[in-house]
Structure 1
Amino acid sequence: MKAIELEKAYNPKDFEDRIYNEWVEKGCFKPSSDSRSPLHECYLNKTSGGKTVSKYTVVIPPPNVTGVLHMGHGLNNTLQDIVVRYHRMLGDNTLWLPGTDHAGIATQNVVERQLKKEGTSRQALGREKFLDRTWAVTHEHHDTIVKQQRKLGNSVDWDRERFTFDEGFSKAVRNVFVTLYERGLIYKGHYLVNWCPRCGTALADDEVDHTDTDGFMYHIWYEYADGPAADGSTKIEIATTRPETLLGDSAVAVNPEDERYKAIVGKKLKLPLTDRVIPIIADQYVDKEFGTGMVKITPAHDPNDWEVGKRHNLEVINILNPDGTLNTACPEKYRGLKCAEARKIIIEDLKELGLYKGEEKIKHSVGHCYRCATVVEPYLSDQWFVKMKPLAEKALASWKNGDFVFYPKKWENTFLHWMENIRDWCISRQLWWGHRIPVWYCKDCGETIVSREDPASCPKCGAGADRLEQDPDVMDTWFSSWLWPFGTLGWPEKTEDLSLMYPTTALVTAYDIIFFWVSRMIMAGLEFTGKAPFHDIYIHGLVRDKQGRKMSKSLGNGIDPLEIIDMYGADALKFTLGYMCAQGQDVLVDKDSFKMGSRFCNKVWNASRYILGNLEGRTLVPVRDSDLTELDKWIYSCLDRAVREAKSAFEGYRYNEGASALYEYFWYDFCDWYVEATKLSFRNGDENEKNRAVSVLLNVLEESLRLMHPYLPFVTEEIYGKLPLAEIVSNRTAAGKQSILASEEYKGLLVDAPYPEPVGARENSSITARFAVLQELIRNIRGLRAECGLDPAAKLHIAVNITAGSSAEVIREKTDMIELLAGVSAIDFTDSTPQKSIGSVGDGFEAFLLVDESINKEQLVARFNKEIAAEQVSVKKSEAKLSGKFVENAPADVVQAERDKLEASRRRIEKLVSYVKSL
C-alpha cells in the first residue's frame, strides 16, 4: 500500500466549502425517510415489518430576516448541529429544519431608516410600494443569512426551509387567528397598552425591557377648589416622576384607612395648568407609608391608575398622540411637544404659579421598547388580544404530566412563574410589514367579518367586497413564530412531514427568549395539535465577552462568527463553543479563545497525517482480538470510556462534558501515549508486526473520527475520505466492527457513518490500572527533568523501587516503552534509595533520577538553593500577612488562599531541601 498524503499544514479553507457542498448535493442532511437521502434504503430496511425508526427533529430558532448572524447565533447553531449530527449517526430519522422570521418591527425599522436617508417615508411611498421595498430588503438579507449558516456548517435540510411570511405559513397564521376567535379566545378591546412612539405600535408586556434609570421625583402643590380643609390647609402635596401627565389626571387618591386624610375624601382640587376640577378619592391601591400617601390618578397613562379609574368610574383622558407628542386634550401651548420638552415648560409654569415645591434625584425602573430602546408610554387604544389563561392552564398540565423537560431543570421555575401570572396578550401591531389581521368591517351595516379567506361580500347585508374594509393592523411577529414547530411541517394540512416529524424532539434556544417564544409555542402546540411541540427544551446561556458583558454594537465587543471562521475554520469555532458551553452558564470568549479549538484541529490533522504517512509498503490485515497487544487493549478501553462519556453527555445536553471527553481521549490517550508507544512496533518489529500495528492504528483512528465528527465535522470528514475504508471495513473483526453499517449500506461519507457504540468486552480495568501506573511514572520522570532544568533531549538514568504485588510490576515489563516515552537510557531496579538521586513517589513505586556524570551536580544544587531562598521569602511574607489585620479584614476565601499558598511554599522548601541532602 502507498502512503496517503495529507497537506503538511492544516488549512480548513482548502476543504470546508467543498465538503459542505458535497453534503448538500448528496442529500446527506435529509431525513432518512426522504427518498432523496443516501440512507433511505437503510430506513426502508429498518421499517420493513412495521417497525418504527426513532426520529429526531429540531426546528431552528428562526433568526430575524434582516439581521446578521452574531456569535450568539453561532453558539445556538453550533449546539443544534452537534446534537443533530450525533442523532443522524445513531441512525435516527433526523431532520434539522431551517428558516427565518419576518420580524415585523425590526424589519420595518430597517426599511424606514433606509427611506429616511433617502429623504422619504413609508407614508409617502404608500402601503403597497413600501411592502414591495420591504420584500426586496428581506430577500437580500435572507441570502446573507443562508451564506453565514452554510459557512458555520449547519447540517439543515435546505429544501425544507421555511419563512414565517411564506404562503403556507400565512395560511396557518390566519387559520389560528380565526380559530381562536371562534373559540372565544381572541377579542378586541379599548384598553391601556404599552406603546412605542418611535415604532408607532403597541407592544406586549414581555416586549418591554425594564431598566433602572436615573430620574427625578417632582413635588407639586394641588390647591383645593372648594375652600380650605378642616385643618385650615389650602393645598395638598403630590409627587410624580412625570409632571406632564398631570394634564390627564382624573383624581387624587388616598388610602381609606389613612387617618390623616379621611376628612378630605370627597373634596375637590383645582388641577394645575388646566380649568378642570378633580375629586379626592379613597382606594386601597394607595400605599399610605409611601411618600405623602397621596397619589395622582391618570387612568389613560398608568396601568395601576387604569384599574383605579375603572373602580371609581373616573374620566379617562388620553393626552398623547401616537408619535408621543401631547394632543388636543392638553392646553394649546403644550400641544405637539414631546413629553420631555413639555415637562420642562410645565415645571417652569408651575414655578411661576407658586405650585412647584421642588425635586429630588431618584433611580427608578423605566420601560423601553425591546427593539429600538425608546421609552414606552402607557397608551389607550383599540387592540386585539388573546385570552392566555385557558392556554396557560393546558401548558401547565402538560408540564406536570412530563410531556416536556427543561435542561437545565432550573428553568422550570421561570416557566411556572410566568404561566401562573400570565396576562392577556396584545397581538395587534400598528405596522405595515406583517400578517394582516383577517378582519373586515362592512361600511354599509357595520358588520365585523373574521374569515380564513378574503370575503367576497358582507354576510349580513350582502354589500360587495368594495364596501368591505380590512383592519389596517398586522399581527405581532410572535403570533406567527409560536406556530413554528408544526407550521413549518405543513400544518394545517396533513402532510407526511407532520405525521413523521411532529412533535419535534428538541428545542435549543437561549434563555433570553423563554417568555417570548418557548412558552407560547407550548401553548399553541397543545391548542392546535393536542401535543406539546417538543420534549427536550435545552436552554443555553448567552455569549459574553471576557468581562462578562453582553456583546453589543455600542460596546464594540462583538465577535463576527465569519471572522473567526476565516481565521481558524468552522471546526475551531464549533469545538471551542461546545467545549466552553456548560449547562446553566454564559459563555465568556474573546477572539483568542478560538485558538484552543484550532490547536485541537491541528492535533487531529497531524496525528492522522503521521498514521497515513506510515502506510508505505504496508499491507492491512484483519484485526483479531487474539492479535491485540496489551497496549492495543488499553487504547480500546480508553476509546470505549470516551464513547460512553460522549453519549451520556449528548443525551443530557452537557456539551462541555462531551467535548472534554473527546479532547482528553484523543489528545492525551491516543496521540500522546498510544501513537507514540506504537513507534516501538515500527522501530523494532518485523514486517508482520508493522502490518498488524498499522492495521490497528487505522481501526482506532477510523472509530475516533466517527466519535469526534459531531464536534469537528469538516476536518474529520476530510481525513475520513482519505482512509482506505474498504480495506478497514473488510478487515474489521470483533475489536472494532461494533456499529459499522453493513458494507452494502455503507456510503463512505463520515456524515452518514454510524456513531460508535460502547462494547463491554473492550473494558479492562486491570489493563487500565497497569497503564495508569506507567503514565504516572513517565509523568513523574518528565516532571523531574523539568524541575532540574535538564535538556529535553538528554537521556536520563533512573532507578525504580517497586512494591511487590502492586500494579507497578508492569514497569519491569514495559521498560522499552518507558525509555521511549520518558527519554530514558537505562532503568535500574532497586530495593533502597540510591545515593545522589532525586526521588518521586507514585502508586506502588518510587522513581529516582540518578545524578551521575551526565548531570552537573554543583549547578543542580545551586539551582535548588536559589529556589529554596525564593520560597523562604514567600513564606515570610505570607506569615507576616497572616499574623496581622489581614485575617480580620480580608474576605474568608482570600485569607484561605493565602494560607494555602503558605503551606505550598513550606512543602516545596521541604522537598527541595531533601533534594539537596540527597545530592
Structure 2
Amino acid sequence: MTMEKTFDAAEAEPRLYARWEREGCFRAGANARPGAEPYAIMIPPPNVTGSLHMGHALNNTLQDILIRRKRMQGFDVLWQPGQDHAGIATQMVVERALAQAGEPGRREMGREAFVERVWRQKDSSGDTIINQLKRLGASCDWSRNAFTLGRTDEDQMSRAVIRVFKQLYDEGLIYRGKRLVNWDPHFETAISDLEVENVEVEGHMWHFKYPLAGGETYDYVEKDADGNVTLRETRDYIAIATTRPETMLGDGAVAVHPSDERYAAIVGKLCEIPVGPKEHRRLIPIITDEYPDPAFGSGAVKITGAHDFNDYGVAKRGGIPCFRLMDTKAAMRADGAPYAEEVAKAKAIREGGAASEAEIDAINLVPDEYRGLDRFDCRKRVVAAITGEGLAVTGPDGAPLVENKPIMQPFGDRSKVVIEPMLTDQWFVDAATLAKPALAAVRDGRTTFHPENWSKTYFQWLENIEPWCISRQLWWGHRVPVYYGPERDGENFGFSLNSSLDAVQFKLKLFCAETEAEAIEQAKAYYGSEWQIKINRSDDKRIGISLPEDRSRNTITIARDPDVLDTWFSSALWPFSTLGWPDETPELNRYYPTSVLSTGFDIIFFWVARMMMMGLHFQKDVPFSDVYIHALVRDEQGRKMSKSLGNVIDPITLIDQYGADAVRMTLAAMASMGRDLKLDVSRVEGYRNFSTKLWNAARFCEMNGCALVPGFDPKSPREPVNRWIVGETARLREAMDAAIDAYRFNDAANAAYAHVWGVLCDWYVECAKPLLQGDDGPAKEETRATAAWALDQALILLHPIMPFVTEELYGALAPRERLLVHADWPTWTAADLADAEADADMGWAIAAIEATRSARAEMNVNPGAQIPLVAVGADAATAARLARVGPLLARLARLSSIEHADAAPKGAVTLAVQGATLCLPLAGVIDIAAEGARLEKALGKLDKERAGLEAKLANPAFVEKAKPEVVEKERARLAALAEEAGKLAAAQARLAELA
C-alpha cells in the first residue's frame, strides 16, 4: 500500500485511539509477560466539572510515557483513571446553573432533590475531561474508571470512606471540636488552605485608643537604640492598630510583648473596648505574649481569638475566651439576647465564672445597632462611632490616623469573596499522629521525591502539621457517618423535646456507624430496649423523644450529621480505594503499593502527604515508591497562565491545530526536572514538523524498497554506514531508558529528536542513498533491510512520546501480528551492536563533510560547483579511512576529486581534521576581491547594529523601565549578532589564506 504524502492527524488520531480501545490495549495486564512484575500509576483525579488545561496535559503526557514504555517492556501495567467529585466546585456549578435558569435554589429544593440534580449534572458532563484525555492519547484502563463519590453509602467508594472515618473515630484519631477555620461566606462552609487565594489589595490600618479602666494613667516611655529611656507622655489609654475594626467587638484581650517596657506598668490591668453603648462596654485584660512585635505600630495587639488565626493562638495560650461575632454569611450576628445581657455573661466569664465552650459560643457581643449588618458595613459604622467619640489616635495634623497600605487578604478561590477566619464546630483528624509514619517513610527511602528537594517541602509541612479540618457545610459529598441523639444521664435526659441540631440546647450523644442499621443498634444499646429508635432524614434534623400517653411506643429520634467530608479526605484513599478496598480484591493485592505518583508541587501538602498517611495507616505500606513533581507550565515569557492576563493556552486547541503528538513531544522535550516550562506555541509547530520529517523518512524507505526482513540480525550488516546506524540506534535506546528511569523526560525526548532528525533522517538517509540507488546486490539489500530496521526501532522508541504517528507508520511499514502499543521494547546495548571502526569512520566523515560545507558557505561558493579536495599530511590510518569514506565525502561535499599532497596548494582554504589537513583550492573558483568587499560590508553593517544594541542595553533607563521580556529579547538579539560577527570574521580569515 502506497503511503499518503502527509500524516492527517485529525483523521488518524481518533481512528487509532478507537482501535486501541476496541482491542483492549490499555486494560490492566494487557501485553504482560508470564511472571511479569506489576507497575501501577494512579492518575491524579481531575475535577469532574473540569476541562483539560496545560498542567493536565503535561502531567498526563509524562505518566503516559512511563505507562506505554512499561507496557511495551512486558510489565503488568495498570494506569488507574478516575475523577474527583470536587465538593465545592461541583456544587457551585449546579447552583449557578439553577440561578441562570431561574429555578429554585438548593435550600428551596431540599437536600435530596438538590443532590439528585448534581448527579444529573455529573452524568451529563462528567465525561468531558475523560474524552479530552483520550484526545491527548492517555492510555488509561478506562474500564476501571473510578469516581470518588458513590450514589449511596453501599457503593464501594463510599464504603471505603466511611470505613476509614469509623476506624479513625474509634481509634480516637478523628474527633469533633471547636477550632478556627477558613470560612467561605458565599458557600457557607469551611474550606481548606488550598482553596484560599491570598491577594494583595489596597487596605487601611486604623489606630484606636482603648481607655484604661477607671481612668487610670501611666507614664508612656520610649527607649532608643542605646537604651536611653525618654518619657513621652502620660496616657490613660493603650493604642492598637487594626485592619478589621468590626472584629473589635469580639476582643478578649490586648497583648504586648514581655520585653516591651512601654507597657510594663499596665500589664495585668484592664482596658475598655471603645465600641458599643458606654454603659455596657466590656473591660478586657492587658496581657503579654511573644506574638506582638514591639517594633511594629504601637507594639500592642488586640486579641480576637474567634476571627484571626494568630489571635487564636494567643487566646489558647492565655486562656482568653473567643467570641464569634458573625453568622454563616459573615453578617454580624442577629441572634441571642439583647446586648446588655450578653455583655453581662461575658463579664461573668472574665471574672472567673465557669462557662462551657457552647455557652461562650452562644454569647453574641454585637451591639443591637450593628446586628444583621454585613461585616464591611459594620466596619464603616464602627470606625465612624469611635472617631466621633474622639477615641481615634490622631496624627501630627490632628486628623484620625489612618494608614493607606497594601494588605494580604484571603479570598475563596471559587467564590471570590473575602474569607473569614471563623471559630466553628468541625470534624478534625489528628494529623500529627498520622504524620509520624509518613515522615519516617520518606526519611528511610521507602518513598523518594524527584527532584529530591521537594522532600524538604514535605518534611516542613508534616513536622508542623495542624489538626486537619475534614468537615464541610455542603450537600454534595460524603456525608459524615455520625448520628446524634440526646445524651442520657442515668434515667434522665434533661432537654427540651424535639430540638433541632441547628439550635440544640442539650448535650449530644454521638453514634459513629457505617450504616443506619448499625447506628440504630448502637442507639438501642445506649438508651435501652424500652425505647424505639427512629432516624430523622428530613432537612430540619430535629431530634428528641416522643412519649405517647400509653407509653407503648416511647421513641427517640436521632439524626445524621448534615456535614459532608472534605474532598481531600476521599482523595487521600485513592491508591487503595480505587483497587476495591475495603474488600480484599485481587487488584488490591496485585497493584498496591503503586509505583509512581506524578503530580504538582502545590498539592504535596494536601494530597501527597495525606495519601502517605492513609496508605501507611490502613495498608501498612507506602502508597507509592516514587513521587515525581512536575513543573509548572508558563507562557513563553515565563508568566503563570491566567484568564486575567489572557495568556491561557488551551491544549485541545493546540491538538486541533497541530495534533496530539506535537503537543506531547513539546511538553516532554521541555519537561526539565525542577524547572518550569515556558511554552512557546512555535515549539509545537516545530515538533509537528518533526512528525512530518519522520513521515517523509518512512516514505523514502517505501520508495526505495526498504522492507523489514523477518529475523533481521542487526549484527549482520557489513557496510560502514549500516553498522554505524545500528550502533547509534542502540545508543539511543540506552539514553532513553536511562533518562526515563531518572524522570528526565526532556533528555529522553531530546535524544529521540536528535537521533531521528539529525542521525536517521539526515545523515543516514544521505549516506545510504548511494547504496540504495546503486546497482542491485548484497550492499543494496543489506541497506534496505538495515534502513527498515533502524526506522522500525525509532518508531518503537518514540511511541511512548508520540503514539499516534508512530502507530500509523508501524502499521504501514510491514504487516504485523500486534499493534505498536504492544511491541517489544528493545533491549539492545551499544556493547552488543556498536562497531568501533564504523563509528570512527562515520564520525570522521561527518566532521569532514560539515567542515567542507561550512567553508563553502563562508566563501560563498556556488552550491552546485564541484571543487577538488587535497589531503595534506595524512597518516596511514587516515589515508586508509579516506579510501573507505572518500566516495561518501565526495558525494555529500560536492567534490570533483580527492587527492593527496605533501603541502597545501596555493590559494587553498585549510580544514583541520583528525590525522590530516584538508585543503580546498578556491583561488580560481571565487572572486577573492569581490568576496572580500562583500564580507567587509556585511561586517560593517552588523557592527553598527551591535553598537546600537549595546548602547541601548547599557542605558539604565531602558533596562529598568522596559518589560523584562523586551530586555531579554534585545539581549538575545545581541548574542545572535555576536555569533554572526564571529562567523564573518572566520570567513575573512579564510579568505586571507587565499590571497
Residues 198 and 825 (structure 1 numbering): CA distance in 2 closer, same or farther, change over 3 Å?
farther
Contact 1:875 1:906 in 2 (8 A): no
User: What is the DSSP-based 3-state SS (H/G/I as helix, E as strand, rest coil) of the residue aligned with 1:595?
Assistant: helix
Tell me, in whole angstroms, the C-alpha distance in 1 between the residues paired with 2:197 and 2:695. Answer: 47
Maintained 8 Å contact 2:946/2:974: no
Q: C-alpha distance in 2, partners of 1:766/1:616? A: 25
Scaled by the length of structure 1, the TM-score of the pair is 0.90
Question: 1:168-179 counterparts in 2 under 5 A?
Answer: 168-179=156-167
Partner of residue 239, structure 1: 241
Q: Identify which of 116, 122, 129 aligns with 1:138.
A: 122
- Render the CA deviation track for 1:319-367: whole Å, top value 9, x for unaligned: 1111111113322332333222222232222221112231113333333
Deviates more, 1:626-635 or 1:432-441: 626-635
Q: Identify which range, 96-105 or 8-17, moves more after superposition.
A: 8-17
Does the CA-based 8 Å contact 1:12-1:569 persist in structure 2? yes
Q: 1:848 to 1:336 in 2, by over 3 A?
A: farther
Within 5 Å, which residues of 2 pair with 1:574-613? 574-613=664-703
Where does residue 825 of structure 1 map in the other structure? 896
Contact 2:180 2:309 in 1 (8 A): yes
- 1:465 — aligned with what? 534
Which residue, 466, 477, 480 being the options, matches 1:434? Answer: 477
Give a deviation string over 1:821-862, Cα, whole Å, max 9, x none: 223333333332222233333333433333265544443233
Q: Secondary structure at the match of 1:767?
A: helix
Equivalent of 1:127 in 106, 111, 115: 111
Distance 1:186 1:564 in 2: 46
Residue 281 of structure 1 corresponds to 286
Moved more, 141-150 or 228-237: 228-237
Q: Give the SS at the match of 2:330.
A: coil
Pairing of 1:678-827 with structure 2 (within 5 A): 678-725=768-815, 747-759=817-829, 760-801=831-872, 803-805=874-876, 809-827=880-898
SS in 2 for 1:327: coil
1:262 corresponds to which of 261, 264, 270: 264
> Which of 372, 387, 409 matches 2:415?
372
| Structure 2 CA distance for partners of 1:903 and 1:525, relative to 1, 3 Å | closer
Work out the CA distance in 2 between the residues paired with 1:268 and 1:702.
85
Alignment correspondent of 2:330: 324
Number of the residue aligned with 1:249:
251
| 1:163-202 matches, cutoff 5 A | 163-166=147-150, 167-202=155-190
Which amino acid is 1:262 matched to? A
Does structure 1 residue 416 correspond to structure 2 residue 459? yes
Q: SS at the partner of 1:697?
A: helix
Match of 1:6 among 3, 6, 9: 3
Q: How far does the alpha carbon of each residue in 1:36-82 deviate from its partner, in whole angstroms, 9 at most, with x for none?
A: x4x36xx3xx23xxxxx211100100000001111111111100001
Deviation at 1:865, TM superposition (A): 3.1
Which moved further from structure 2: 835-844 or 579-588?
835-844
Aligned to 2:513: 451
**What is the aligned partner in structure 2 of residue 346 from structure 1?**
382
Matching of residue 30 in structure 1 with residue 5 in structure 2: no
Q: Unpaired segments of 5 or more residues in structure 1? A: 48-52, 727-746
Q: Cα distance, 1:18 vs. partner? A: 1.1
Q: Deviations over 1:493-529 (max 9, x none)?
A: 1101111111000001111111110111011100000
Unaligned stretches of 5+ residues in structure 2: 220-233, 335-363, 394-400, 489-507, 536-556
Q: Distance in 1 between matches of 2:439 and 2:429?
A: 18
CA displacement at 1:918 relative to structure 2: 1.2
Give the equivalent residue in structure 1 for 2:434. 391
Which residue of structure 2 lines up, in the alignment, with residue 150 of structure 1?
134
Letter in 1 for 2:532: A
1:300 aligned to 2:306?
yes
**CA displacement at 1:870 relative to structure 2:** 4.5
Match among 767, 774, 779 for residue 677 of structure 1: 767
Q: Distance in 1 between matches of 2:64 and 2:973?
A: 41
Per the alignment, residue 218 of structure 1 pairs with 206
Q: Distance in 2 between matches of 1:25 and 1:903?
A: 54
Alpha-carbon separation, structure 2, partners of 1:416 and 1:785: 60
Aligned to 1:111: 94
8 Å CA contact retained: 1:871, 1:908: no
SS state at 2:126 partner: helix
Map Cα deviations across residues 760-813 of structure 1 (whole Å, 9 max, x no partner): 221233432322111111111221232233443443433333541455752332
Q: Deviations 1:369-422 (Å, cap 9, x if unpaired)? A: 343343221111110000011111011111122111111111111111111111
The answer (yes or no) to whether the contact 2:939–2:981 under 8 Å persists in 1 is no
- Counterpart selection for 2:402 from 340, 354, 359: 359
2:210, 2:274 within 8 Å by CA — same for their partners in 1? yes
Pair 1:272–1:213, CA change in 2 (3 A):
same
Q: CA deviation at 1:548?
A: 1.5
Could you tell me whether the CA contact under 8 Å between 1:266 and 1:280 is conserved in 2? yes
What does the per-residue CA deviation read over 1:138-178, in whole Å, with 9 as the maximum and x for residues that have no partner? 12222211211111111111111100013211110000000
How many angstroms apart in 2 are the aligned matches of 1:442 and 1:710?
58
Superposition TM-score, scaled by structure 2 size: 0.84
- Number of paired residues? 880
Task: From the superposition, tell whether residues 829 and 336 of structure 1 become closer, same or farther in structure 2 (CA, over 3 Å).
Answer: farther
Letter in 2 for 1:22: R
Task: Tell me how far 1:626 sits from its aligned partner.
Answer: 4.6
Which of the residues 646, 650, 658 maps onto 2:736?
Answer: 646
Query: Aligned with 1:684: secondary structure?
Result: coil
String of CA shifts for 1:414-447, please: whole Å, max 9, x gaps: 1111111111100000000000000001258543
For residues 167 and 122 of structure 2, the distance between their equivalents in structure 1, rounded to whole angstroms, comes to 29
Q: List aligned pairs for 1:510-521, cutoff 5 A.
A: 510-521=600-611
Of 103-112 and 10-19, more deviation after overlay is shown by: 10-19
Give me the CA root mean square deviation.
3.0
**Amino acid aligned to 2:170:** E
The one-letter code matched in structure 1 to 2:533 is G
- Output the CA distance in 1 between the equivalents of 2:908 and 2:142: 67
Identity of aligned residues (%): 39
Matched residue SS, 2:825:
coil
Change (3 A) 1:618 1:10: closer
1:710 and 1:863 map into 2 onto residues whose CA distance is 50
In structure 2, the partner of 1:529 is 619
Who is 1:861 aligned against? Answer: 932
1:694 deviates by: 1.0
1:871, CA displacement in angstroms? 6.3
Question: For 1:642-677, what per-residue CA distance to the aligned partner results, in whole angstroms no more than 9, with x for missing partners?
Answer: 111000011111000000111111111111111111
Aligned in 2, Cα 1:392/1:749: closer, same or farther, shift over 3 Å? same
C-alpha separation between the residues in 2 aligned to 1:778 and 1:203?
A: 66
- Read off the aligned partner of 2:91 and give its amino acid letter: Q
**What pairs up with 1:471-482 in 2 under 5 angstroms?**
471-482=561-572
Q: Are the aligned partners of 2:928 and 2:991 in contact in 1 as well (CA < 8 Å)?
A: no
1:509 maps to 599
- SS, match of residue 573 in structure 1: helix
* Counterparts of 2:826 and 2:447, CA distance in 1: 28
Inter-CA distance 571–882: structure 2 relative to 1 (3 Å threshold): closer
Q: 2:504 maps to what in 1?
A: none
- The SS at the match of 1:814 is helix
Please tell me whether the aligned partners of residues 162 and 481 of structure 2 are also in contact (alpha carbons under 8 angstroms).
yes
Q: Structure 1 residues 201, 399: closer, same or farther in 2, change over 3 A?
A: same
